[in-house]
């Protein structure tokens, strides 16, 4: 995972659209996680969970996009032109199993498309998006799809999840003068969550996994984020793996 603490140390207050808010008790006082309402622009509803599959793909039918479902739509916001995406992988991945992440604009043009493979245990998989073309444009919505081609006997068979991401233009990101402490990173992740910047909140929180995976505050923050997305069945203690850029 790229250094989320380096990329996103602060955020100015955002004027968001009407939002659904969930008050969750964390290690801080009660925190409000904002889930802004998706714009009414005919976006597909998406699929957060992989669903029923056959053959070898049956092991991956619980593939889950770590993205909220808002008003029945798998939808999230970011301030970055190149955000990270996060998925729960129910079974181990191997180097001979192709994966694919695709991001497309409203005209179905590819903004990002990458096939790759990775050895990873069951748990959370973090996938970075690079500026293959121009990255995500401000105030534009994009359709993303993540697929696991999991059946060697049927190369075209896959388990997939998909949804919509929108980049917001009124978030101010400032590079910190000094590295953030773990407590400061979690505090900033809380700020992002409160303003609806889902990908930044997840990236900052998960960036602490390698050094603070047993820390109570880290686990409580990750658990709160997952619960806010309606994914309360995934334990915050699961391993976190990263796909290299």
10-residue stretch averages of pLDDT, the chain, 245 residues long: 38 34 38 68 82 83 94 92 96 94 93 94 95 82 95 85 90 69 91 90 94 93 92 95 90
How is residue 117 written in tokens? 């493979």
Q: What is the pLDDT of residue 36?
A: 72
CB atoms within 10 A of CB 232: 10
Q: What is the pLDDT of residue 59?
A: 92
Range of the domain at 162: 4-242
Q: How many domains does the structure of the chain reveal? A: 1
- pTM of the shown model: 0.84
Residue 26 CB-density burial (10 A; 0-12 exposed, 13-18 middle, 19+ buried):
middle
Mapping DSSP to helix (H, G, I), strand (E, B) and coil, where does residue 131 land?
coil
Distance CA 178, CA 154 (A): 51
Q: What is the pLDDT of residue 71?
A: 86
Q: Of the candidates 213, 203, 214, which has an alpha carbon nearest to the alpha carbon of residue 180?
A: 203
Distance CA 137, CA 103 (A): 12
Provide the CATH number for the domain around residue 203: 2.60.40.2550
Cβ burial 172-185 (10 Å sphere, 16+ → b, else e): eeeeeeeebeeeeb
Distance CA 140, CA 167 (A): 6
Residue 48 CB-density burial (10 A; 0-12 exposed, 13-18 middle, 19+ buried):
buried
């Amino acid at each position: 995972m790229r250094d989320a603490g380096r990329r996103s140390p602060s955020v100015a207050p955002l004027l968001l659209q009407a939002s659904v808010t969930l008050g969750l008790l964390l290690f801080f006082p009660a925190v409000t996680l904002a889930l802004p309402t998706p714009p009414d622009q005919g976006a597909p509803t998406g699929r957060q969970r992989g669903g029923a599959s056959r053959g070898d793909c049956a092991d991956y039918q619980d593939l889950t996009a770590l993205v909220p479902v808002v008003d029945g739509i798998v939808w999230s916001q970011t301030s970055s032109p190149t955000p990270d995406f996060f998925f729960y992988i129910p079974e181990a991945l191997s180097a001979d199993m192709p994966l694919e992440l695709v991001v497309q604009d409203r005209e179905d043009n590819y903004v990002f498309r990458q096939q790759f493979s990775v050895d990873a245990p069951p748990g959370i998989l973090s996938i970075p998006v690079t500026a293959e073309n121009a990255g995500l444009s401000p105030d534009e919505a994009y359709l993303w799809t993540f697929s696991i081609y999991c059946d060697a006997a049927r190369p075209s068979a896959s388990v997939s999840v998909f949804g919509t991401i929108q980049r917001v233009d009124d978030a101010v990101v400032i590079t910190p003068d000094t590295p953030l402490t773990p407590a400061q990173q979690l505090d900033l992740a809380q700020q992002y969550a409160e303003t609806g910047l889902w990908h930044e909140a997840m990236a900052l929180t998960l960036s602490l996994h390698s050094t603070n995976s047993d820390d109570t505050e880290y686990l409580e923050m990750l658990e709160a984020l997952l619960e806010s997305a309606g994914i309360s069945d995934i334990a915050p203690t699961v391993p976190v793996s990263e796909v290299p850029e």
